[in-house]
Amino acid sequence: MSVTIFDLEFLYDGALTNATSAVITITRTDTDAVLAMSAAMTNVATGNYQYSLTDPAYDLTYSYSAVFTYASENYTFTGSVAGTTTPTDVYGFVTLSEAATYFDTRIGASTYWATGVDKEGALQTAYNDLIDCGLFDFTLDSGEDNPQEWLDAQCEQALFLLQTSTGLDARMNLQAQGVTQANVVGETYRTPKGGIPIAPRALQALNAYMDETDWQFTLER
C-alpha cells in the first residue's frame, strides 16, 4: 500500500535544531480514527524530522499534532496533510506495479505475464470475477487496508485467465446453451457456483473469506 511522509522542521531561535525528542499523533479527518499516537519521529537531518504512515486507503486527509521537546520545554505544531491519491494504474485491489512485483517471484508466470499481454484487462477481469462470483465476503471495517490475500488472489485469478481464458470461455458458452457433455473430447462439465470459475490458488488465498465452498469448476475426462 502507499505511504504518506510527514516531514516537519524544528527551529529554535530561527535556526534548525535537533530536539531532545519529537513525537507525532495522526488522525484521519473523515473518521477521526487515530492512526498514530505519540509516535516517535525520525531525525533525518539537523532540525528535520519525518514519520512514514502506511495509508489505510487512498485520497485521505490527515490532521497531525507534533510535539518537540527541547531545553525541557515542549513545542507543539499542528496541521493537515493530504494522503496519497489513487494511482492511475489501480485495477481492483492491486496496481499494475504491485502485480508485476507479485509475478516476479511467481514460478511459471513469466510465460503469460509478458510484454504484449493485456495485463490491465486481465487484472480488471480477475477483480470482476472475484466480486461477481458471489463466493467471497470482501467487507472491511473502516480504516482497514485490503488484506494481502486479496491482492494475491486477484493476481492468481489474472494469471489463471491468461492461461486458460480461451478454453474456459468456450466451455462456459456451451454451458450457457445447456450443454453438459462434449462427447467429441470426452468432457463432462460442472457449472461453478455463480457461473464463474475461480483459480485454485485464488480460492486458497481467499479461504478465510469464503461464504460457501461447494462450487468448484471441475473437468472430468
User: Can you give the pLDDT at residue 86?
Assistant: 81
In a shared domain, residues 44 and 136: no
User: Can you give the pLDDT at residue 216?
Assistant: 47
% pLDDT > 70, the chain: 81
Beta carbons of 215 and 195 less than 8 angstroms apart: no
User: Can you give the pLDDT at residue 89?
Assistant: 82
In a shared domain, residues 67 and 100: no
**Which of 82, 112, 127 corresponds to the end of one domain?**
82
User: Can you give the pLDDT at residue 167?
Assistant: 53
Residues 194-213 have a mean pLDDT of 85
In a shared domain, residues 25 and 75: yes
Residues 134-163 have a mean pLDDT of 90
User: Can you give the pLDDT at residue 211?
Assistant: 74
CA distances from 141 to 69, 70, 90, 97 (A): 36, 39, 21, 26
The DSSP secondary structure of the chain, one letter per residue, reads: --EEEEEEE-EETTEE---SEEEEEEEETTT--EEEEEEEPEEEETTEEEEEEE-SSSS-EEEEEEEEEETTEEEEEEEEEE-PPPPTTEETTEEHHHHHHHHHTSTT-TTTS-TTS-HHHHHHHHHHHHHHTS-B-----TTPPPPHHHHHHHHHHHHHHHHHHHHHHHHHHHHHTT--EETTTTEEE-PPGGG----HHHHHHTGGGBS--TT---EE-
**What percent of the chain is helix, strand and coil (3-state, nearest 5)?**
30, 30, 40
Number of domains in the chain: 2
In a shared domain, residues 75 and 124: no
**Which of 27, 53, 82 corresponds to the end of one domain?**
82
Phi, psi torsion values for 161, nearest 5 degrees: -65, -40
In a shared domain, residues 78 and 115: no
Host domain of residue 107: 90-220
Query: Is pLDDT of 120 > 90?
Result: yes
Query: Is pLDDT of 219 > 90?
Result: no
In a shared domain, residues 53 and 104: no
**Which of 15, 50, 82 corresponds to the end of one domain?**
82
% pLDDT > 90, the chain: 70
- CATH code of the domain containing 66: 2.60.40
Place of cell 485491489: 93
User: Can you give the pLDDT at residue 181?
Assistant: 54
Residues 62-70 have a mean pLDDT of 98
pLDDT in tens, 159-201: 999 998 765 554 545 454 454 555 545 544 445 566 789 999 9
Q: What is the mean pLDDT of the chain?
A: 86
In a shared domain, residues 69 and 119: no
Task: Please indicate, yes or no, whether the overall pTM of this predicted structure exceeds 0.85.
Answer: no
Residues 196-221 have a mean pLDDT of 75
In a shared domain, residues 142 and 214: yes
CB atoms near residue 43 (< 10 Å): 15
Sequence-distant (6+) residues with CB within 8 A of 194 are: 132, 133, 134, 135, 215
In a shared domain, residues 199 and 98: yes
In the three-class reduction of DSSP (H, G, I as helix; E, B as strand; rest coil), residue 113 is classed as coil
In a shared domain, residues 137 and 176: yes
pLDDT in tens, 38-57: 999 999 999 999 999 999 88
pLDDT in tens, 6-50: 999 999 999 999 999 999 999 999 999 999 999 999 999 999 999
In a shared domain, residues 206 and 106: yes
pLDDT band at 131 (very low <50, low <70, confident <90, very high): very high
In a shared domain, residues 120 and 41: no
